[in-house]
Amino acid sequence: MFRKILIANRGEIACRVIRTARQMGVSTVAVFSDADRDALHVAMADEAIRIGPAEAAKSYLNIAAIIEAAKASGAEAVHPGYGFLSENPDFVEAVEAAGLVFIGPSAGAIRAMGLKDAAKTLMQKAGVPVVPGYHGERQDAAFLAGEAEAMGYPVLIKARAGGGGKGMRRVEQPADFAAALESARREGENAFGDGRVLVEKYMTKPRHIEVQVFGDNHGNVVHLFERDCSLQRRHQKVIEEAPAPGMTAEMRAAMGQAAVRAAAAIGYSGAGTVEFIADVSEGLRQDRFYFMEMNTRLQVEHPVTESITGLDLVEWQLRVAAGEPLAKRQEELSIDGWAFEARLYAENPARDFLPATGRLSVFDLPQDARIDSGVRAGDTITPYYDPMIAKVITHGRTRAEALAKLETALETCRVGGVTTNTGFLTRLCRLPAFAAGDVDTGLIGRAGESLLNEPDASEEAFALAALSALGFLEAPADPDPWGHLRSFRLWGEAAQTVFLDHGDAEHALRVTVRKKNRFHVEHNGITTDIVVQSTDGRSVRVAFEDRVLSATVHREGTDILVFFAGHVHTFTIAEEAGHHGEAAAGGDRLSAPMPGLVRVVSAEPGARVAKGEALVTMEAMKMELVLAAPRDGVVATVPVAVGDQVAEGALLLSLEPEEAA
């Protein structure tokens, strides 16, 4: 076994590898960019080495810097994690040329599966069914449009390199094909350095089912059963589970054997995943599943496989790379129970899952679920890398039990300081179709706004925020409630008005002290009586009329977070009424929703534009953001150009006032 390994990655997966290596007595070396100098994976590793600036291209994608770090540290092997260089055959060859071991498949195996079109040709020869479509070399737009027309809409344009939903566009009608092709090519070029695409028939009710495979250097290949990854947004996975609901023994055997054939065809060694798409318009059928691609690395969702098999896949990776044979034969592997994984992201589902940045002022996750994370309270989610905060994994004897545990775990997540998808994930767990196992890749889209929008703050949440603003939830409790009240009184009960911002509005709440721990709160003509039974300055036990509930209230400066009834609501204390003034620029401005790079500018001053028309395309957090006109009008100014790096809130484009237009 290796004495020391270097982990050529960051965040959650780096922390994950470090944990297993430590259990095996293997020392670890972390690498970090300037943005990650104080990151958790740096703190966990036995030693850490800087490899460059914050930009991934100059650090985590810098092959020369990583090889130099590995040699300087005395590491014997390199673990690539997932993403970044994990599926780069040039990196594998550089590692081996330096006299080190790459913990993963050979460069040849990665190349064989790295381009989707070539991989599908190889799979056809191996007897593995592939999705109908065009996987050839011709790339002129007119030809590809003709192929799409011939196979019939809807179609799916896919970058032939990479994965993670990048460079993928669904096209419903011929009129949209050219723009979608250009966008897919651009994103593929930006993400993978390859703008070539393939075009496939889009299935109206597809399920994404993948099979975990493992090979060694002695010719052995096994599969570790399947995972269902059909719950997706933007072609990216949201919740994964193992095994797949509705899977029969016959179907499992057919998919498992196809996956093993795929891996054996390229002499595969290490952990890999063979991804299939299944047409379930008539249910799961053995003649309706097709090879999509093979990920020649460990997958983000590998914990659900570990949960149902009782295996540590990172340990298997290290042992196989060290030359050991697989620990088990196929007949020795079995499924125990059910597991789910939810990906907790810094993103805003109500704004088309726009990635978010910010400091994690609160980060309390449940103790009764497996949590894989690379961050801590106080860490900052930056615009440089993927915005995943944590993975929440649960296991149960049955699917219903595992799903119930996941819902409970998500309800008790306390993450503040940055917008997250926690509420979205919780609502998804409650979706009847998902609970019944009736899943496909279009389920989230069909569920609509009910999944995406956070519910309005309740009057109870407003009341808790008002009490926090006035200091009544501090610990230890002030024995004299009058001390918190600034208004002069001659008689009657003490009262104080507090102004809170919530959403896009200002709210005035009048708080009256009834007794030491009893309060009366008036807001928008609604009165709420609240009794504070206990508080430690954060965890609060309160009574509202005939209900007794628990909440978490976190205050930092003028910001107040209320975690209540499975939701988080954000309030900001204002000094006085009317501080808002007029809404900033109304619908006349197009501003950057987050830091990023301007990729496309489609309008110039004087141009007339229509509401919803795409005007600016930004790249941020490994994805493209298309920003549209907020209303019909005439462009007044365009202060940015293609290639500009802009800050959050930067003006990208303005429209002439409506009177002038």
Q: Find, among 323, 303, 324, 304, the residue nearest to 314 by Cα.
A: 303
Residue 245 half-sphere exposure toward CB, CA atoms < 13 A = 21
Tell me, yes or no, if 3 is annotated catalytic.
Answer: no
- Decide: 175 and 242 in contact? Cβ < 8 Å: no
- Decide: 562 and 465 in contact? Cβ < 8 Å: yes
Give the containing element (helix H, strand E) for 50. strand 47-52
- CA–CA distance, 236 with 390 (Å, rounded to integer): 15
- CA–CA distance, 535 with 545 (Å, rounded to integer): 18
Catalytic residue among 16, 185, 196, 297: 297
Cis peptide before 154 (omega within 30 of 0): yes
SS3 189: helix
Question: Following DSSP, what letter does each residue of 375-400 receive, concatenated?
Answer: --TT-EE-TTS--EEEEEEEEESSHH
Based on the number of CB atoms within 10 Å of its own CB, is 150 exposed (0-12), middle (13-18) or buried (19 or more)?
exposed
Give the containing element (helix H, strand E) for 555. strand 547-556
Task: Tell how far CA 413 is from the center of its chain.
Answer: 16
- Decide: 500 and 509 in contact? Cβ < 8 Å: yes
- Decide: 408 and 426 in contact? Cβ < 8 Å: no
Output the six-digit token pair for 321: 């790379």
How many Cβ atoms from other residues are within 10 Å of residue 586's Cβ?
A: 12
- Decide: 338 and 46 in contact? Cβ < 8 Å: no
Task: Tell how far CA 646 is from the center of its chain.
Answer: 23
Q: Which residues pair with 636 in a beta bridge?
A: none
What residues are annotated to the active site?
297
